[in-house]
Amino acid sequence: MKNIRIRKANKKDINEILNLLYQLQRPRPKTDAEGLAFRKRIHRYLDEKDKRILVAEQNSKVIGLVSMMFLLRLNRTKLELYIPELIVSENHRGLGIGKLLIESCISMAKKKKCFRIRLESGNQREGAHRFYKKIGFEQSALSYTRTIE
Ligand SMILES: CC(C)(COP(=O)(O)OP(=O)(O)OC[C@H]1O[C@@H](n2cnc3c(N)ncnc32)[C@H](O)[C@@H]1OP(=O)(O)O)[C@@H](O)C(=O)NCCC(=O)NCCS
């Protein structure tokens, strides 16, 4: 694992961020207007104090990302660090990069004095479930969703 650097994402990374999200099967824009809206959303996300995106880069090429949200919970004095997205590009998996990104989240959670880190992972992502278990996460809940058209 040579020349890997984890850093805060910036506005120049928006194309790479979108490409990684597509690898996570996130929707591609159906129109140019939707494409522009996605880009603006990421732009705003990068500016918001309660959110953070980190990227992993190798020789200046972005090869992974993790996003974070710092959530207020009603009955806690401390924040919860929620991870909506974690993705390492297909050709770079199994090299320790996912673990490095999560370790950066753990450092951030400690710095912000969060009480825990939480994330969701689709039922079909069995590899990711093994990864989370391997790096010390516990499976602690089921997730329920209802699509609104
Ligand atoms: C899940 C994912 C982020 C893991 O990142 P990665 O860089 O490939 O994982 P790492 O190389 O850092 O692995 C860390 C440890 O987990 C283990 N691990 C990683 N993927 C694994 C898998 N599919 N099955 C079993 N163990 C796995 C590694 O062997 C390693 O163990 P070690 O520390 O004993 O060597 C990456 O595979 C990925 O992007 N997958 C597709 C998208 C996805 O599912 N994201 C998660 C959404 S919830």
pLDDT, tens digit, 9 for 90 and up, residues 87-99: 999 999 999 999 9
Q: What is the pLDDT of residue 92?
A: 97
Give the residue, by CA position, lying nearest to ligand 1 atom 22: 127
Report d(CA 69, CA 78) in Å as an integer: 13
Amino acid, res. 26: R
Q: Check: pTM over 0.75? Answer yes or no.
A: yes
Rounded (10°) angle between helices 32-47 and 14-23: 110
Q: What is the pLDDT of residue 39?
A: 97
Give the mean pLDDT of the chain: 97
The residue length of the chain stands at: 149
Counting ligand 1 atoms within 8 A of each CB, the residue from 55, 124, 131, 143 with the most, and so the one to mutate, is 131
Q: What is the pLDDT of residue 1?
A: 75
Is residue 19 over pLDDT 80? yes
Give the residue, by CA position, lying nearest to ligand 1 atom 35: 96
Burial of 48 (C-beta count, 10 Å sphere; 0-12/13-18/19+): exposed
Q: Which residues line ligand 1 (CB under 6 A)?
A: 24, 86-88, 93-99, 121, 125, 127-128, 130-131, 134-135
Which one is the CATH code of 4-134: 3.40.50.300, 3.90.1300.10, 3.90.1150.10, 3.40.630.30? 3.40.630.30
In ligand 1, the atom with minimum distance to the C-alpha of 125 is: 44
Band the pLDDT of 103: cuts 50, 70, 90.
very high
Band the pLDDT of 37: cuts 50, 70, 90.
very high
Q: What is the pLDDT of residue 32?
A: 96
Give the distance (Å) from ligand 1 centre to CA of residue 111.
25
Closest CA to 121 of 109, 133, 136: 133
Q: Does residue 2 sit in helix, strand or coil?
A: coil
pLDDT tens-digit profile of 41-88? 999 999 999 999 999 999 999 999 999 999 999 999 999 999 999 999
Give the distance (Å) from ligand 1 centre to CA of residue 140.
19
Collect all residues with Cβ–Cβ distance below 8 Å to 29 and sequence separation of at least 6: 35, 37, 38
Sorted by where each begins, the domain ranges of the chain are: 4-134
CB 80 within 8 A of CB 73: yes
